[in-house]
Amino acid sequence: MNPLRVGIVGGAGYTAGELLRLLIRHPRVEIAAVSSTTQAGKPVAEIHRDLLGETALRFSDSLPEDPDLVFLCLGHGQSRQFLQENPLPAETAVIDLSQDFRLRQPGNTYIYGLPEAFRGDIEGARRIANPGCFATAIQLALLPLATEGRLDSAVHISAITGSTGAGQSLSETTHFSWRNNNISLYKAFNHQHLGEIRQTLADLQPDFGQPLYFLPYRGNFSRGILATVYLPWEGNLQEAREIFGAYYEDEPFVYLAPFEPELKPVVNTNHCYLHLDFQQGQLLVTSAIDNLLKGASGQAVQNMNLMFGFEETAGLGLKSGAF
């Protein structure tokens, strides 16, 4: 069987680097081209240095003429512009890792690529909008409740992310001297991922209209997201565990942890750890993921596997660093 020929656009950034690490060893994939407007002509391993000896690929300034799939690893707002300037054939599949196509609007044919909610829509699709990293961690904490119609009050969310969540481009808040030994709140109650979270919850629970109070934090570590979600709960802890257990029973990457999650066990994996607690009438759900994998490139490969009928876990047998 011929391998799937893939191209990566925006190949010098963090999410593209993670994609390369996954796809180089994927049993069904051939990387046809990695394009970059800033690094064209350079060896890929000169920028993604951990790939030295793993690939002889060089960055190009364009895609091949006949890729089966294109991953867009561009900044927000740039994917739409790229596709307008470089139209792709209808038969070429696209997975976009920016936020450009996540929200439904007239003319948007992209499927929202959260497998745990929309696996059936993703299978066989040709256009996928990969979810945001915060949005993934938070939605995985809420999907079972929305499916059961149990989101009937305000939801309170706090989540902290590593510095790679801001991307590779430098800004005042990404410099080492600012980020190190520092934690900061930003975009309180107004984060851009709230729109896609609300969209999914309304799909699963059509009468959902409760407020989401989201406090996002920048952490002083490189990668990972730890999110806590709590809301009033009229049931008991065992009932909540049964709801979550039934929903995620057959999911290959989501695990109900008997301990309070931390970041290290999920970093460098495509896993999500969820933990449930019940105190003072509040159900607390803690969610931990790697923002670059389950929150970005790992989920993109998971979506690719579903789109093309591969084993869903292919290329994603990753191992965390315990220490």
Q: What is the pLDDT of residues 88-116, one digit of tens each?
A: 999 999 999 999 999 998 989 999 999 99
Q: Which two tokens stand for residue 19?
A: 């994609």
Q: 221-241: b or e for each residue (b if 16 or more CB lie within 10 Å)?
A: bebbbbbbbbbebeeeeeebe
With cut-offs at 50, 70 and 90, classify the pLDDT of residue 9: very high
State the Cα angle at 149 between 152 and 195, rounded to 5°.
Answer: 70
What is the predicted pLDDT for the residue at 37?
A: 87
What is the predicted pLDDT for the residue at 163?
A: 76
What is the predicted pLDDT for the residue at 161?
A: 95
| Kind plus residue range of the DSSP H or E element containing 45 | helix 44-47
With cut-offs at 50, 70 and 90, classify the pLDDT of residue 54: very high
With cut-offs at 50, 70 and 90, classify the pLDDT of residue 76: confident
Point out the catalytic residue in the list 70, 133, 226, 267. Answer: 133
Q: Is the C-alpha dihedral spanning 195, 201, 202, 204 positive or negative?
A: positive
Give CA separation, 68 vs 29, 61, 307, in Å: 10, 18, 11
DSSP β-ladder status, 59-60 and 69-72: unpaired
pTM comes to 0.94
pLDDT over 90, % of the chain: 80
State the Cα angle at 284 between 212 and 183, rounded to 5°.
Answer: 70
What is the predicted pLDDT for the residue at 182?
A: 83
The burial of 54, by beta-carbon neighbours within 10 Å (0-12 exposed, 13-18 middle, 19 or more buried), is given as: middle
Q: Tell me how crowded residue 177 is: count the other CB atoms within 10 A of its CB.
A: 7
Average pLDDT, the chain: 93
**Higher pLDDT, residue 44 or 191:** 44
What is the predicted pLDDT for the residue at 212?
A: 97
Q: Which residue ranges form the domains of the chain, and what is each CATH number?
A: 4-131+295-307 (3.40.50.720), 133-289 (3.30.360.10)
Q: Read off the pLDDT of residues 258-279 as tens digits, 9 standing for 90 and up.
A: 999 999 999 999 999 999 999 9
Mean predicted confidence (pLDDT) in 38-67:
91
With cut-offs at 50, 70 and 90, classify the pLDDT of residue 174: low
Three-state secondary structure string covering 54-123: CCCCEEECCCCCCCCEEEECCCCCHHHHHHHHCCCCCCCEEEECCCCCCCCCCCCCCEECCHHHHHHHHC
Q: Read off the pLDDT of residues 125-142 as tens digits, 9 standing for 90 and up.
A: 999 999 999 999 999 999
With cut-offs at 50, 70 and 90, classify the pLDDT of residue 65: confident
Res 179 pLDDT > 90: no
Q: Cβ(244)–Cβ(144) under 8 Å?
A: yes
Q: Cα separation of 218 and 184, whole Å? A: 5
**Higher pLDDT, residue 66 or 281:** 281
What is the predicted pLDDT for the residue at 303?
A: 99
Give catalytic status of residue 133 as yes or no.
Answer: yes
